[in-house]
Structure 1
């Protein structure tokens, strides 16, 4: 394939634009915010699980406290009934003895229940403190995720703006190339990543490999308008005064 040397040199401008577009693509895939968001989501799930677990424990304690309070109320009601019977003076000696015994038993029972209730309420107070702390940690995790997402979206917006500018620039730069030359360039770029590069000081600018003596001889013998490709990476090697020929 042949192309005017000046046209071949313009491939370097196209390659520079494509390199910038490739950097945008790479940057989009490797934004640090992406990994940060993944970690923030992991932390958020852990904090949500903690809140749920503590909430379940708190709910169990609330039910236990309510059950204990109900049982205490029942004992108190029984005590009140027995006291009224005693105060009424209408019971016989045997029933009086039974009521006094029952009152003593109820009093001990109520004392034990109240002790248990106090312990339950202390436990509930501790779990409520844990719940408040877990909620604070959850709020922090949610804010960290939101912050990372905002920064990611901002970075993506900048990349999209850069990509749009470079894409428009590429359309303008590539407009004047002969179709066969542009097709070759695009095909090599699609497979190798770089379509054209400067041959500088006997070294291919795409793969950075120095040409051996025989390869350099073939390049020197090629006509100025001959499109020369690197034997290692297939990139079009643009020849200038810097090529060392």
Structure 2
């Protein structure tokens, strides 16, 4: 087993505490609730956007249908007006005038049909306008919610970043006062032990795995010099001895 000053070994507990806090901050950053909210809002905006595109296409179709219906009605009205003027002027033979009268009757029926179609087209246009407007309003509300969630998420991330910078500075300050070889050993151990490289020995119990040492392992730890680096036989982490160890 390697050796390192007992005071340096005890500083590993401070280093470990900082590393635990850094891991907690990393987890907090990765699981910010506002990000999940943003993801949900983005999915809903995509859905609403797709429906809105379809609604606007229907609106364009409805506008064209109304324009065509209005044109058809206007064309029939103009022809009826011309025929009425000719009929009122009495120009032409009796047969021509009778033909004009028959055409006017036909045009009147045609105009009625076209005006019904125009009314139906206008109703569809109104429905399409309402649907598109509602969807646009919904999209705007979702955008406002996303903007608010983004502000809240960014505030949390900035808070995490500020604490991470402070924690990293503390870590550097602690590590700079610990034997380099011990720090490297701690890092290697931590990398293979779920992020925990050093643990306090409190009485008979390793605070890393929360298990108590058996009598022979405890005797071996007691017999080890203070500057000897010892490990938990159960979890493989560095066991740090302090006054709480009761040795």
- Relative to the length of structure 2, the TM-score reads 0.93
Q: Distance in 2 between matches of 1:140 and 1:185?
A: 52
Give the structure 2 partner of residue 32 of structure 1: 33
Matches within 5 A, 1:37-56: 37-56=38-57
Matches within 5 A, 1:54-93: 54-93=55-94
Larger displacement relative to structure 2 (54-63 or 234-243): 234-243
| Gap regions ≥5 residues in structure 1 | none
Q: Distance in 2 between matches of 1:26 and 1:8?
A: 27
Give the structure 1 partner of residue 19 of structure 2: 18
Superposition RMSD in Å: 1.5
Matches within 5 A, 1:195-206: 195-206=197-208
> 1:47 touches 1:141 (CA, 8 Å); kept in 2?
no
Q: What is the CA-CA distance between 1:244 and the residue it aligns to?
A: 4.9
Q: What is the CA-CA distance between 1:222 and the residue it aligns to?
A: 2.1
Give the structure 2 partner of residue 214 of structure 1: 216
Q: Distance in 1 between matches of 2:51 and 2:60?
A: 14
How many residues matched? 245
Larger displacement relative to structure 2 (91-100 or 18-27): 91-100
CA shift digits 1:64-101 (9 cap, x unpaired):
00000011111111111211221222222222222111
Q: What is the CA-CA distance between 1:206 and the residue it aligns to?
A: 1.8
CA shift digits 1:209-244 (9 cap, x unpaired):
333333323323322221011233322110123235
Give the structure 2 partner of residue 225 of structure 1: 227
Q: Distance in 1 between matches of 2:66 and 2:233?
A: 83
Q: Distance in 1 between matches of 2:203 and 2:100?
A: 114
Q: Distance in 1 between matches of 2:76 and 2:220?
A: 108
| 2:131 is equivalent to residue 134 of structure 1 | no
Change (3 A) 1:102 1:232: farther
CA shift digits 1:90-142 (9 cap, x unpaired):
22222222211111111111111111111221222222222222121111100
Larger displacement relative to structure 2 (216-225 or 161-170): 216-225
Give the structure 1 partner of residue 115 of structure 2: 114
| Gap regions ≥5 residues in structure 2 | none
Give the structure 2 partner of residue 167 of structure 1: 168
Larger displacement relative to structure 2 (152-161 or 202-211): 202-211
Q: Distance in 2 between matches of 1:34 and 1:214?
A: 51
